[in-house]
Amino acid sequence: MKKYAFWNNKGGTGKTSLSFQTVCRYAQMNTNERILVIDVCPQANLSELFLGGLIGRGSEHLLTRQAQSVRSTLGGYFQSRLPTPYQRPQINGDDYVTTPRAYNTNIPQNIDIICGDPLLELQANAINTLASQQIPGTNTWIAIIDWINDLINSLSVRYDTLFIDCNPSFSIYTQIALAAIDKLVLPVMADDSSRRAIQNAFSLIYGLKLPSDIYATYAFANKLVSANRSLPQVHLIVKNRITQYMGPASAYAAVLHSIDQDLEQLLRSNQNIFTFSSVSDGVVDIKDFQTTGVVAFAKGCPFSTLPSGRISVMGQRVRVNDPYRVSCLQAIDALVRKL
């Protein structure tokens, strides 16, 4: 199974909207594959998009899934693990899976999702406590970190590709998600805070440039490696929401160039954490989706099937310019081709 995660510990990088369009387009371009999406975010915005968006009652549909006798979300699954956290319980993983097309006909039929849940935030403290317990003969942290892998293994349907949308944090549930994937997609913005966020991401996942050796013992990378587990590799840096008017003299361009320079240095010093060997192979530019993106996400609709012209959105008539829609789709296609 190919396993990807979209993550940046900095919020506001357009991660969820980017992952929605990418997953839908990947599914359309790979109709022979079964695709599983896991929304590891308490806000569950990606789940709402897949279940219909604002116009298609995505939030209501998500609440319906949360109200099932077995709560059909990732939070419901985590809830089932809390009583016996270090042993795999006898569960039916299919109870937590939703087929979005049953709620939203815009979604390709080869996609399933395990929805996000606000319970994740409530569960985080309990999970952290369980992961730090000292029990002879049991690596409690690894037992917790394996929860998503256990869930995947319990599903009756075998999937070809996994996409995980992570919360902009490094909470325990984010660590559980990142430990389950092979390749990381890291969205960034054209600002200096995104440059710092990349540096922070490499510190959090790979233990690079820690401020003190005292942190090394507790570092995510060291704990995974000491348990003979592999670390995810950075597969793509997505420069997201790049304005269509940005030229080489732009202040934005200067920041983005500095991000490239940081990547070049890391590629020389830590090639093993990347799947690519040159910046050009590992970077993709995505322009700002603007009105086209607003309408697509209100409708829970991929760019490929979004109608153009004037569309009613919450009582307002909004115009989707078709050439711009096509250019947004082409940008997503360029990303998908690099997966």
What pLDDT sits at residue 265? 86
User: What is the phi/psi pair of residue 35, to 5°?
Assistant: -120, 130
* Residue 51: predicted pLDDT: 98
pLDDT value of residue 251:
63
Mean pLDDT across 4-23 = 87
C-alpha to C-alpha distance for 126 and 136, rounded to whole angstroms: 20
Q: How confident is the model over 209-237, as a mean pLDDT?
A: 81
Answer yes or no: are the C-beta atoms of 273 and 206 closer than 8 Å.
yes
- DSSP annotation string for 193-240: HHHHHHHHHHHHHH-TT-S-GGGGGG-HHHHHHHTT-PPPEEEEEEEE
Mean pLDDT of the 121-136 span: 94
> What's the confidence (pLDDT) of residue 118?
95
Q: Which of 116-120, 186-190, 229-233 has the lowest mean pLDDT?
A: 186-190
Could you tell me which of 157, 161, 136, 137 has the C-alpha nearest to residue 32?
161
pLDDT value of residue 77: 97
First to last CA, the chain: 13
Distance CA 245, CA 239 (A): 15
Tokens in use for 241? 């929401």
pLDDT at 248: 46
The two beta strands, 316-320 and 309-313, are antiparallel
b/e map 21-47, b = 16+ CB within 10 Å: bbbbbbbbebeeeebbbbbbbbbbbbb
Which region among 71-75, 110-114, 307-311 has the lowest average model confidence (pLDDT)? 307-311
Tens of pLDDT, residues 71-107: 999 999 999 999 999 988 788 999 999 999 999 999 9
Can you give the pLDDT at residue 9? 79
55 pLDDT more than 60? yes
**Maximum Cα–Cα distance across the chain:** 65
Strands in 111-114's sheet, in edge-to-edge order, are: 111-114, 35-40, 161-166, 2-6, 183-188, 233-242, 283-287
- For residue 60, pLDDT over 90 is answered with yes
3-state secondary structure 74-112: HHHHHHHHCCCCCCCCCCCHHHHCECHHHCCCCCCCCEE
pLDDT for the residue numbered 185: 95
Is it the case that residue 314 has pLDDT exceeding 70? Answer: no
Alpha-carbon distances, residue 75 vs 51, 117, 296 (angstroms): 17, 5, 27
Tens of pLDDT along 14-52? 788 899 999 999 999 999 999 999 999 999 999 999 999
The 10s digit of each residue's pLDDT in 162-213 is 999 999 889 999 999 999 999 999 988 766 666 676 778 888 888 876 556 6
pLDDT above 80 for 309: no
pLDDT score recorded for residue 204: 86
Domains, in order of start, for the chain: 2-337 (3.40.50.300)
Whether the predicted pLDDT of 11 surpasses 80: no
Q: Give 67's contacts (C-beta < 8 A, 6+ positions apart).
A: none
Identify the pLDDT of residue 249.
45
For residue 310, what are the β-bridge partners?
319
